[in-house]
Copies of this chain bind each other. A is one copy, B any other.
Amino acid sequence: MAKVKVYVTLKPSLLDAQGRVVQTALENLGYGNVEDVRIGKYIELEVKENGQTLDTQIEEMCRKLLANPVIENYRFEVTE
């Protein structure tokens, strides 16, 4: 059983509206020194190895479902 951590982030060129809202909220709480906030997804998968290359499988899952490659970047790491 492998544990996979996937990080999905909005592409840097795109405005992160949700992040902007959080930044304003932090400012209102007194944290005016926060210059930028970007919000992404952190996904943990538990995958049973089935002979296929795990990396290829996870790559496919990211492209097909977990991330939207048009607007998002993703990276993942496999741990045991």
- Chain A residues with CB under 8 Å of chain B are 1, 7-9, 19, 22, 25-26, 29, 31, 33-50, 57, 61, 64-66
Tell me which of B7, B29, B35 contacts A64 (CB under 8 A).
Answer: B29
Copies per complex?
A: 2
Given contacts A61-B26, A66-B22, contact A35 B47 (CB under 8 A): yes
**New A-B contacts (7) at CB < 8 Å, excluding given A31-B61, A34-B46, A39-B43:** A26-B61, A33-B49, A33-B50, A37-B43, A37-B44, A37-B45, A40-B44
Q: Are A40 and B38 in contact (CB under 8 A)?
A: no
Contact residues in B for A47 (Cβ distance below 8 Å): 31, 33-35
